[in-house]
Amino acid sequence: MSRRRVVITGMGWVTPLGDDLESVWQRLLAGESGIAKTTLFDASTFPTTFSAEVKEFDLAKYLGPEDAARHKHCNRNAGFALAAVKMAWDAAGLSGATKLDSTRIGIYLGSGEGPIDFDNFVAAAVKGWDREANGGRGDLDARKWCEVASQRLNAITEFEQDPNMAAGHIACQFNIEGPTFNTLTACAASTQAIGEATNLIRRGDADVVVSGGTHSMIHPFGVTGFNRLTALSTRNDSCITASRPFDRTRDGFVLGEGAGILILEEYEHAKARNAPMLAEITGYGSTADAFRITDIHEDGRGGIAAMRLALADAGLEPKDIHYISAHGTGTEENDKIESKAIQGVFGEWATKVPVSSVKSMLGHLIAAAGAVELITCVLAIRDGILPPTMNYSTPDPNCPLDYVPNKARKAEVKTALSNSFGFGGQNDTLVVTKVTME
Amino acid sequence: MAPRRVVITGLGLVTPIGIGAEAVWNALLEKKSGVTRISAFDPSRFQSQVGGQIAGLSTSNAIPKPYRKSIRVMARDIEIAVVAAYEAVKDAGLKTRCMVERGECDGEPNVDPTRFGANIGAGLICADLNELAGALATATDENGEFDIRKWGSDGMNNLTPLWLLKFLPNMLSCHVTIVHDAQAPSNTITCAEASSHLAIGEAFRTIARGAADICICGGAESKINPMGLMRQELLRRLSTARNDDPARACRPFDAARDGTVISEGGGLLILEELEHAKARGAKIYCEVVGFGASSNAHSWSEPHPEGRGITLAIRKALDDAGLQPDNIGLIGAFGSGTVPHDRSEARGIRAVFGDRTAKIPTLAIKGSLGNNGAGSGAIDLSVAVMCLKNQTIPPAVNLEQMDPECGLNVVQGNPVDAPIDAVVSVAYALGGGQNAALVLKKI
């Protein structure tokens, strides 16, 4: 028996460049940037003062006032996800579908944890800190902390922080009772989610899976964490050009936020209800570096293995790939090693296959990045045009590939490959292909 | 081609009643409790002051010596996972990089790293308040109020550069895969108390489809910190009536229960393709034959009154195993100890097993352990494996009178010997609506 085919029948996103599938795509092709000064909190003295924020988000715009009120306590991640699912669900024609079996619809998300209730958390922490204790080194006074925290923290905000809550809201809003997972493998999460969702359908555990990712780390502790790791660009005087994947003058990634959702569906199920078939997921590969939590293996070992597994899963050769959507974060290390890994897999073909990174415009959406990037691959296949890598001005001898610099390019794309690599050595690759009808 | 069969060849447990599967099993037979008054911090201002704490966690003895410096970037959850991994690998007789470098076995590793995967459940890891509060307190104005501008310019520099990496949920898996050199698919499931079952189910599928031959899988979490306790307390999930009698506080399915108890712990299991296990002469505990998962579509915050999602997950797991409810000799309940969750779970189970529910022995161990969060399911499942192996079921401590609304046949009093051919083990997220079930079978 041949294996069950998995097609994409709907897509939706909430990004720093907007939420409408087509207009965001046009803005990406035009090389626009979603990066600006951070407004979600006062980042003016942080090493990095800018980010790629989602502007003026209002859940009621997508769900209507009544349903939005039902989800009014959900955090930024879950809100983005609900909006993106709604757009994908409608695009897939599922809203009017009457014969859906809710137990055969699953969810496989890569949702991040919700932001900490910052002001209240910090107030309790500061008031609970006893400077004199521990011989003047200070210590937490748990009694004092408890008194303040129990007054200032509230149950719902705490409850909604769990990374599985986005899936919980989605299941209720769209009446989904099938297998439900949330994976959180850092920056690889939504690519991993889509790959695993593909396997759920292939195996027959579900016919439809809502998959993708959602994340916002544009909050004081998120930026603190990445700034302390010196992972972020600090090009504060020119933030629009700060995200410079593969450029020699790159100095780190730019933090973004948003959600990308794809409706994955078994081919015959989609065909039977005349659903749009936007592309087919043909390959998935997942590996661990098992090297270091801070550094990528210098040979790109894990990335090479993930890409090879994805190609083998798709039954394709390197020359069958017409476009690579790179992880391309704009950090010194990632871009160098990802380029090396692509060369390791593609050999001579490496310089012929175009590679680009939309993170140059959207920033890095962390857990949501892979899903948003896979959507751009599907659109590149559909329209025969590749999104550019913006801000590319100075070639880096360590990055010798064709990065589609600064300008979108027409190209026939039958098959695209998308990489996501996470902190700690998580590597995931997907292959998407133009649908051939049986 | 016949489907690849998946067996369990190693158990690694790190719990408040012991470290290692044998130690935990013996403690359960002896009806020990790991729940005490919390000593990790002063709980006296909290409403619930009891918890399950692990004594004597020695991470440095579970990793190669050169890796010891990494302990400082491990949250407690990660340390539990790293120790559980060591226990599991040792129990399975695998010669991984860790065991060779530690000098615990001769020669080269006998595991192909590219065929060795990981699938580990994690919770929402709480920031270490001792570290973070001290740093935040450096960024205050003259009135002692926090000043974010001071934090951005100076205060944050009081945190170690790798601070963020302590709390990323995928770091459980990352440290474990680095220590033991596991390069095949590595996944991290974050669905609260359902995480372990979902992770083990995913590992089962990963091996069955041929993407790996061995997976280390399960979960770990620690809620034994002020923030972890506060979050559960705000949600009103905790027992508050027995602060002066901690060992009796957590009472799953008992008519007098008043909430769950925070805890810490985890379990990692070695899942292995049957032929691979046979070829290396591995000890085989049992076979994983079924996995089912579901979502509650009615509420993300309350358990379903009829436990519908639990019913769906169990039925799918039984279908997957090709078994009927009549084939099940032991039900491994989650039994969190809250009034509504236990009732929801019991109803979900009864919908599957009908009148037979009262006859099937049922396992509920959280009275001894408290709620181990994302690590719970792996501990539950490992104990179910031991039941299958020993054909014995340890009693639920603190179960004195079964809540008539629950009506399960939970073993109480003394251990019971019973012929068990197949087990179903259940887990659900207390919040979020995810449910999962796994079916194990004697081989």
A385 CA: distance to closest CA in chain B (Å): 32
Does any domain span residue A394?
Answer: yes
Residue A131 sits in the same domain as residue A216: no
Cβ of B164 within 8 Å of Cβ of A292? The answer is no
CATH number of the domain encompassing residue A350: 3.40.47.10
List B435's β-bridge partners, or say none: B294, B428
Instruction: Look at residue A1 and tell me if it is in a domain.
Output: no
Same domain (yes/no): A141, A215: no
Q: Which residue of A has its CA nearest to B167?
A: A225
Q: Do A177 and B312 touch (CB under 8 A)?
A: yes
Domain limits for position A247: 6-115+161-433
Tell which residue, B365, B375, B339, has the closest CA to residue B259: B339
Q: Whole-angstrom Cα distance, residue A138 to residue A134?
A: 5
Q: Considering A215, A219, A269, A364, which one is annotated as catalytic?
A: A364
- If asked whether residues A305 and A168 sit together in one domain, one would say yes
Q: Which residues of A touch B149 (CB under 8 A)?
A: 42, 44-45
Q: Which of B42, B211, B299 sits opposite A142 (nearest CB)?
A: B42
Q: Verify that A36 and A130 share a domain, yes or no.
A: no
Give the closest of A116, A185, A293 to B73, CB-based: A293
To the nearest whole angstrom, how far is the Cα of B24 from the nearest Cα of chain A? 29
What's the Cα-to-Cα distance from B137 to each of A139, B162, B190, B228, rounded to whole Å?
A: 11, 20, 31, 21
| All residues at 6 or more sequence positions from B271 whose CB lies less than 8 Å from its CB, including other chains | B6, B7, B8, B9, B200, B203, B204, B207, B214, B215, B216, B217, B288
A187 included as an active-site residue: yes
Do A20 and A149 lie in one domain? The reply is no
Q: Does residue A171 lie within any of the structural domains?
A: yes
Domain at B290-441, CATH homologous superfamily = Thiolase/Chalcone synthase (3.40.47.10)
pLDDT digits (tens, 9 = 90+) for A365-391: 999 999 999 999 999 999 999 999 999
Tell me which chain A residues have a C-beta less than 8 angstroms from the C-beta of B295. 106-107, 167-168, 171, 176-180
B235 inside 8 A of chain A by CB: yes
Q: Sort out which chain A residues have CB atoms less than 8 A from B189's CB and list them.
A: 181-183
| A288 and A326 part of one domain | yes
In this complex, how many residue pairs, one in chain A and one in chain B, have their CB atoms less than 8 Å apart?
Answer: 298
In order along its 443 residues, chain B shows pLDDT tens digits of 578 999 999 999 999 999 999 999 999 999 999 999 999 999 999 999 999 999 999 999 999 999 999 999 999 999 999 999 999 999 999 999 999 999 999 889 999 999 999 999 999 998 889 999 999 999 999 999 999 999 999 999 999 999 999 999 999 999 999 999 999 999 999 999 999 999 999 999 999 999 999 999 999 999 999 999 999 999 999 999 999 999 999 999 999 999 999 999 999 999 999 999 999 999 999 999 999 999 999 999 999 999 999 999 999 999 999 999 999 999 999 999 999 999 999 999 999 999 999 999 999 999 999 999 999 999 999 999 999 999 999 999 999 999 999 999 999 999 999 999 999 999 999 999 999 999 999 99
Q: Is B107 left (phi over 0), alpha (psi -120 to 50) or beta?
A: left
Residue of A nearest to B113 (CA): A290
Positions of chain A with pLDDT lower than 70, given as ranges = 1
**Predicted pLDDT at A394:** 98
Q: Across the interface, do A150 and B70 touch by the CB < 8 Å criterion? A: no
**Closest-approach residue (CA) in chain A for B133:** A125
Same topology, domains B6-129+162-279 and B290-441? Answer is yes
Q: How far is B119 from chain A (nearest CA, A)?
A: 10
> Quick one: pLDDT at residue B263?
98
- Burial of B197: CB neighbours in 10 Å, binned 0-12, 13-18, 19+: buried
What's phi and psi for B150, nearest 5 deg? -65, -35
CB contact under 8 A, A45 and B234: no
Q: pLDDT value at position B283? A: 98
Q: Are both A189 and A138 inside the same structural domain?
A: no
Domain edge (last residue) among A153, A171, A202: A153
Contact A185 B187 (CB under 8 A): yes
| B394 within 8 A of B415, measured Cβ to Cβ | yes
Substitution target in A45, A82, A85, A109 with the highest count of B β-carbons within 10 Å is: A45
In this structure, the answer to whether residues A211 and A255 fall within a common structural domain is yes
Would you state the pLDDT for residue A251? 98
Query: How many Cβ atoms sit within 10 Å of the Cβ of residue B4?
Result: 14
ipTM of the complex: 0.97
* Residue A438, in any domain of the structure: no
In a domain, A358, yes or no: yes
Q: Which of A187, A239, A377, A399 is catalytic?
A: A187
Question: How many domains is chain A partitioned into structurally?
Answer: 2
pLDDT number for residue B1: 59
- Of the candidates A123, A179, A422, the beta carbon closest to that of B146 is on A123
Considering only CB atoms, which chain A residues are within 8 Å of B163?
A: 224-225, 228
Inter-chain touch A158–B295, beta carbons under 8 Å:
no
For chain B, which residues make up each domain, given as ranges?
6-129+162-279, 290-441
Q: Is residue A45 part of a domain?
A: yes
8 Å CB contact of A162 and B43: no
What's residue A1's pLDDT? 57
Nearest to B185 by CA among B96, B118, B120, B122: B118
The Cα A365–Cα A345 span in angstroms is 26
Domain boundary among A128, A153, A178: A153
- Crossing angle of helices B76-92/B171-180, nearest 10°? 40
Co-location of A137 and A278 in the same domain: no
CA-CA distance, A411 to B45, in Å (whole number)?
Answer: 66
- Is A164's CB within 8 Å of B432's CB? yes
| Whole-Å CA distances, A231 to A30, A204, A391, B34 | 27, 41, 18, 42
Q: Is any Cβ of chain A less than 8 angstroms from the Cβ of B146?
A: yes
Nearest residue to B111 via CA among B95, B99, B98, B100 = B95
Q: What is the CATH number of domain B6-129+162-279?
A: 3.40.47.10
- What is the share, in percent, of chain A residues with pLDDT greater than 70? 100
How far apart CA A108 and CA B22 sit, in angstroms, is 35
Are the beta carbons of A149 and B230 separated by less than 8 Å?
Answer: yes
Phi and psi torsions of A265, nearest 5°: -145, 145
A88 and A149 inside one domain: no
Asked if the Cβ–Cβ distance from B295 to A122 is below 8 Å, we say no
Chain A residues whose beta carbon lies within 8 Å of the beta carbon of residue B168: 184, 186, 423-424
Catalytic: A322?
no
Closest CB from A102, A168, A230 relative to B433: A168
Helix (H, G, I), strand (E, B) or coil at B270: strand
Degrees, nearest 5: CA angle A34-A35-A36? 125
Could you tell me which chain B residue has the CA closest to the CA of A170?
B297
Whether A98 and A125 map to the same domain: the answer is no
- Could you tell me where the DSSP H helices lie in B39-187? 76-92, 97-101, 129-136, 148-153, 171-180
The interface residues of chain B toward chain A in range 34-93, judged by CB-CB distance below 8 A, are 41-46, 70, 73
Residues A236 and A215 in one domain: yes
Cα–chain center distance at A57? 18
- Which of A146, A170, A297, A299 is the best mutation test for B, with the most CBs of B within 10 A? A146
Look at the block and give the residue holding tokens 């091996």.
Answer: B207
Question: A37 CA to chain B: closest CA distance, Å?
Answer: 15
State the smallest CA–CA distance between residue B88 and chain A in angstroms.
18
Judged by CB atoms closer than 8 Å, whether chains meet at B295 and A107 is answered as yes
- Choose the closest CB to B295 out of A131, A176, A292: A176
